[in-house]
Structure 1
Amino acid sequence: MQLRNSSSRYGIISMCLHWGFALAIYAMFGLGLWMVTLSYYDGWYHQAPELHKSIGILLMMGLVIRVLWRHLSPPPPAPQSHGKFTRLSAKGAHIALYALLIAILISGYLISTADGKPVSVFGLFDVPATLTDAGSQADIAGIVHLWLAWSIVIFSVLHGLAALKHHFIDKDDTLKRMLGRSSVDSGA
């Protein structure tokens, strides 16, 4: 399997970034929903938010790597069977997903640093607080973060359903390419 993307499929690095982010986003969504239900006396009351923040900072760093990789190894062009509307929709959906990722990571950072304290990433390093206003910043960013979390989950489900539609109904290579296979490989 190749490292870089080709004209017919995604390379291993793009696939790992794609599926790794998908897994992390759903795990973070579940962790976020669970941690807000914890009572003060629960053992995870302080640990769950710290875990959520640490993973969030790593995702922010990973997103920078992902965007850089997308420029170093551009994705394969859309299959020939895709019409103009499908191509524009796919491009718009990817832009929207990246914008949601950026916005959710920024809002999470603003929640985490509202009190002026840095974010400790698994105790390995700290990310300093830059904008701080404990009262309103945490509340507003928290509301935005929640709406963005639901938005990215809903949008990614639609993204997945579109890939399944392409695979099972249109019978094209859209999904296969992100799994490292294509018709070109199988001779179909």
Structure 2
Amino acid sequence: MSARNSEVTYGWVAILLHWTVAVAIVGLFVLGFWMVDLSYYDPWYRQGPDIHRSVGIILFLVMLFRIGWRVVSPAPRPLANHRRWEILAAHAAHWLLYLLIFVAMVSGYLISTADGSSIHVFGVFEVPSVTGQIKGMEDTAGLVHYWSTWALVVLAGIHALGALKHHLIDRDKTLRRMIGLS
């Protein structure tokens, strides 16, 4: 399998990026949903958010690479059996997914750095605050983060259902192309 996409198939880099981002998004959502109810005395009270922030920063870097890769290696052409509305809906959904991912990551960053502190990424490097201290920013960013992550997970679920529809009902290669079996 080639690293780059062809006109009919995804390369291994695009496939790896797709599934890495998917797993990270689900993992971050589950961890975030779980950790908001932790008490101060829970051992995960600090560790959960540290992991969440670190993975979020790494995901940001992966997404920047993913967008660059998409420019260098464009997606394959739509399959011949795809209707025009399906193609337009898929393009809109993909760009909205990208937008929601970045909105979620930036708002999460703003929550964590609203007090002027840096984010420590697994103790390897730090991402400094670019805003300094801004009173109330964590509340506004928190609302944006909450709603953008819910919208992201709902849209990702619809995206997955669309892939299953293509696989189980249309019986085309849409899903097989993204798992490297086309």
TM-score, normalization by structure 1: 0.94
**Partner of 1:125 in structure 2?**
125
Distance apart, 1:134 and its partner CA: 4.5
Residue by residue over 1:109-163, the C-alpha shift from the partner in whole angstroms, topping out at 9 and shown as x without a partner, is 1001000011111111111101144531001101110111111111001000000
CA distance in structure 2 between the aligned counterparts of 1:135 and 1:46, rounded to whole angstroms: 22
**Partner of 1:20 in structure 2?**
20
- Between the two proteins, what is the percent identity of the paired residues? 47
Aligned residues: 182
Where has structure 1 moved over 2 Å in runs of 4 or more?
132-135
Counterpart AA for 1:19: W
Structure of higher RCO (CA pairs closer than 8 Å, 6+ residues apart)? 1
Unaligned 5+ residue runs, structure 1?
183-188
CA distance in structure 2 between the aligned counterparts of 1:178 and 1:166, rounded to whole angstroms: 12
**Partner of 1:83 in structure 2?**
83
CA root-mean-square deviation: 0.9
Report 1:63-78 matches (<5 A).
Answer: 63-78=63-78
CA distance in structure 1 between the aligned counterparts of 2:108 and 2:132, rounded to whole angstroms: 13
CA distance in structure 1 between the aligned counterparts of 2:132 and 2:101, rounded to whole angstroms: 22
CA distance in structure 2 between the aligned counterparts of 1:170 and 1:109, rounded to whole angstroms: 41
Is 1:111 the equivalent of 2:148? no
Cα contact 1:107–1:144 (8 A) shared by 2:
yes
Q: Secondary structure at the match of 1:115?
A: coil
Cα contact 1:9–1:181 (8 A) shared by 2:
no
Unaligned 5+ residue runs, structure 2?
none
Report 1:1-188 matches (<5 A).
Answer: 1-182=1-182
Q: Secondary structure at the match of 1:8?
A: coil
Counterpart AA for 1:33: F
